[in-house]
């Protein structure tokens, strides 16, 4: 593994090479339309005659968010009104200490997590939500002079707690965000990418969850408090803004950014963090122009746009041209005919159902489901070993590079998986098998025509460990499925939302068994709403002891928490659990001596997908719990059949299924 020190040394070597050896070219380019190949009426996809490549950048330079001029910091805290907001990771402990010190030392009037002040949560400057607007109004109505938000201790909560600070800065109120040391880069990059050049932070040493209440109080008093006072009373500097923004200037969309051998190209992209560490295909200007022929987009058409409005693609919020999509597709090794799929995937990046979980410490892995005739024409596999087939692997690799270069996700900066991430993957559905058993394919369930080509982007927290269906009895097969649904929870033991989104894979044989007693995927979902139920005692136990952010066991008894959930209390991001007294689940009979149990629902309508995939050599089901999914249709150019024929494919109409 290459260390940061190694990368710095390699960067120096590259700089010296650029200065004294290989030439780096930066100039106002000639459009590809003026190339010799174009003049001859042909586009070239050829490699250079010698081992030297002139390559372009995969990273967009324009942002959909204009930076603001931040309000000045305070000259003194004496008598000021300070709002302490948030609530994650023991904020009830650290905020209380900070509040008391502000009152003691400066006579501050503090508003600590009150209903009157509220909080913004995740802040989108281009389209602030009602919660953010209400929070900003309260800051003004109460005459708040400064905001302290916290605590940031996980990938998702960091975005939320930083959002409180961003909403304050946009409202003209200086803010400081409290976070564990490891999350300071994410706080800063979140602010920068959302138009706040400098987000002042107070860094908590270590992890909140590892410390006792007494240790948290000590660190709040001795470590956080001095940082907060300094952050709120020292004026912002250009040096801070430059450090956070970085030194890389924007480039024109088709500027040549480096010239060199294949090996040097690899080093260039890795040093400048434009590669996921695997070998990339050098993206030359000529090759990009060739790839763009396979889309309905011109080079500078904005991909993340809908009805003429640019959609934010967090965390970097860049304006993404079709040109950069092509660059990343080439680098991933995708052939040109994948371009319509790559464009559709990037459109999914702007959908909150896809991106909202990808920064989490829990390590959501993105995937794409390719549906409709395009999946069959281009050979995306739904057979045994599907994600390791070439087409599936290449499209997954595109997602990996697009997340880095187009969306702006960087490991340990704003993608905070504790144990890291698996590589993204792609798969397809056996849509003919769906029709054979009387079920609709996934994209048809989502409202698309059977022969419309669609991509669906989602994410998952697990991989492997499927269940075998060792029976032809559909009722027993559904019971096995229901049992595994209750086991495959978000956050391991299911300490957060028990009704999370799931994608459920079934091999053809397993689907046939279930379909013999279940006429549709919709009916199956309804059955599981009633049968896939988790004992409330298990749900409470997980939330009580395995919730590192709130330390619930320090504030209430287990029985009180059990009854609170049963009565409909909210738990973190879950508005309420759906608890009922039901018959004991079949798989627990003989284990618990009760005919009935308090159980909670684990399936919600509309957020569970069923996909027949994985071939027909076994009867297995794989449950993929994780984030929500979103779908977009794949737009093909009018001359698609002609273009596809150049790559060896027959007409796409030949891959339509009878309706």
pLDDT for 647 equals: 92
Encode burial over 101-129: b for 16+ CB neighbours within 10 A, e otherwise: bbeeebebbbbbbeeebbbbbbbbbeebe
Give the up-direction half-sphere exposure of residue 310: CA atoms within 13 A in the CB hemisphere.
17
- The enclosing H or E element of 179 equals strand 175-180
Q: Which residues contact 483 (CB under 8 A, 6 or more apart)?
A: 532, 585, 586, 587
How distant is the alpha carbon of residue 616 from its chain centre?
32
Average pLDDT per consecutive 10 residues, the chain (659 residues; last block may be shorter): 41 41 34 34 55 88 81 95 90 92 94 79 85 93 94 82 94 94 84 88 89 92 95 93 64 84 88 86 95 95 85 80 96 97 93 69 82 97 92 94 87 67 90 96 96 93 88 96 90 78 94 95 94 93 78 82 89 82 93 94 89 94 87 95 94 95
Q: Which residues contact 523 (CB under 8 A, 6 or more apart)?
A: none
pLDDT for 414 equals: 66
pLDDT for 481 equals: 96
Are 136 and 167 in contact, with CB atoms under 8 Å apart? yes
Q: Are strands 146-152 and 81-86 parallel, antiparallel or unpaired?
A: parallel
pLDDT for 527 equals: 94
Token couple for 173: 């109120």
pLDDT for 363 equals: 63
- Look at residue 77 and give its three-state secondary structure: coil
Backbone angles phi, psi at 96, to 5 degrees: -65, -40
Q: Is the dihedral of CA 645, 647, 649, 651 positive or negative?
A: negative
Q: Is the dihedral of CA 305, 308, 311, 316 positive or negative?
A: positive
- Look at residue 286 and give its three-state secondary structure: helix
CB atoms < 10 A from the CB of 535, how many? 19
Give the up-direction half-sphere exposure of residue 419: CA atoms within 13 A in the CB hemisphere.
6
Picking from 539, 541, 504, 509, the residue whose alpha carbon sits closest to that of residue 524 is 504
pLDDT for 636 equals: 97
pLDDT for 576 equals: 86
**3-state SS track over 560-612:** HHHHHHHCCCCECCECCCCEEEEECCHHHECCECCCEEEEEECCCCCCEEEEE
Q: What is the DSSP letter of 411?
A: B
């Amino acid at each position: 593994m290459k260390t940061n020190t190694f990368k710095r040394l390699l960067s120096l070597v590259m700089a010296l090479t650029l200065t004294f050896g290989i030439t780096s070219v930066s100039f106002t380019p000639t459009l590809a339309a003026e190339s010799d190949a174009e003049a001859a009426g042909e586009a070239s996809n050829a490699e250079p005659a010698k081992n030297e490549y002139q390559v372009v950048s995969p990273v967009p330079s324009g942002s959909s968010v204009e930076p603001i001029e931040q309000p000045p910091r305070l000259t003194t805290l004496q008598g000021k009104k300070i709002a302490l907001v948030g609530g994650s990771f023991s904020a009830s402990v650290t905020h209380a200490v900070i509040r008391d010190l502000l009152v003691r030392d400066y006579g501050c009037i503090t508003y600590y997590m009150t209903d009157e002040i509220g909080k913004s949560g995740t802040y989108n400057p281009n389209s602030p939500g009602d919660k953010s607007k209400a929070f900003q109004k309260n800051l003004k109505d109460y005459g708040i002079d400064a905001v302290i938000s916290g605590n940031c201790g996980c990938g998702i909560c960091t975005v939320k707690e930083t959002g409180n600070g961003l909403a304050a800065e946009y409202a003209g109120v200086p803010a400081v965000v409290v976070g564990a040391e490891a999350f300071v880069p994410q706080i800063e990059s979140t602010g920068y990418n959302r138009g706040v050049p400098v987000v002042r932070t107070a860094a908590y040493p270590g992890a909140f969850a590892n410390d006792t209440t007494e240790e948290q109080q000590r660190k709040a008093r001795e470590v956080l408090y001095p940082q907060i006072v300094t952050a709120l009373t020292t004026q912002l500097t250009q040096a801070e803004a430059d450090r956070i923004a970085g030194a890389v200037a924007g480039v024109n969309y088709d500027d040549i950014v480096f010239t060199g051998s294949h090996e040097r190209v690899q080093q260039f992209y890795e040093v400048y963090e434009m590669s996921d560490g695997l070998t990339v295909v050098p993206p030359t200007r000529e090759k990009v122009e060739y790839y763009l022929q396979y889309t309905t987009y011109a080079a500078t058409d904005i991909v993340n746009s809908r009805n003429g409005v640019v959609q934010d693609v967090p965390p970097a919020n860049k304006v993404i041209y079709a040109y950069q999509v092509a660059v990343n597709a080439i680098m991933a090794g995708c052939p040109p005919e994948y371009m319509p799929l790559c464009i559709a995937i990037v459109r999914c990046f702007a959908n909150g159902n896809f991106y909202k979980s990808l920064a989490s410490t829990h390590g959501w892995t993105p995937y794409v489901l390719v549906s409709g005739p395009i999946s069959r024409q281009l050979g995306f596999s739904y057979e045994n070993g599907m994600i390791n087939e070439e087409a599936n692997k290449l499209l997954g690799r595109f997602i990996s590079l697009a997340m880095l270069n187009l969306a702006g996700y960087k490991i340990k900066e704003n993608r905070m998986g504790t144990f890291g991430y698996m590589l993204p993957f792609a798969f397809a559905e056996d849509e003919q098998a769906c029709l054979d058993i009387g079920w609709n394919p996934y994209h048809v369930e989502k409202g698309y025509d059977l022969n419309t080509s669609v991509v669906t982007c989602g994410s998952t927290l697990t991989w492997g460990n499927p269940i075998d269906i060792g029976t032809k009895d559909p009722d027993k097969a559904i019971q096995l499925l229901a049992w595994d649904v209750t086991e495959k929870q978000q956050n391991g033991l299911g300490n957060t939302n028990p009704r999370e989104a799931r994608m459920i894979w079934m091999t053809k044989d397993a689907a046939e068994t279930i379909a013999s007693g279940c006429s549709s995927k919709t009916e199956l979902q309804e059955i599981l709403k009633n049968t896939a139920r988790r004992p409330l005692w298990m749900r409470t136990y997980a939330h009580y002891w395995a919730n590192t952010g709130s330390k619930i066991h320090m504030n209430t008894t287990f029985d009180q928490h059990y009854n609170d959930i049963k009565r409909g209390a909210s738990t973190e991001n879950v508005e309420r659990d759906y608890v009922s007294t039901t018959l004991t689940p079949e798989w627990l009979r003989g284990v618990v001596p009760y005919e009935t149990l308090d159980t909670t629902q684990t399936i919600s309508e509309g957020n569970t997908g069923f996909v027949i995939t994985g071939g027909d050599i076994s009867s297995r089901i794989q449950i993929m719990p994780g984030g929500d999914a979103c779908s977009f249709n794949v737009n093909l150019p009018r001359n698609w059949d002609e273009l596809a024929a150049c790559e060896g494919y027959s007409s796409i109409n030949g891959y339509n299924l009878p309706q």
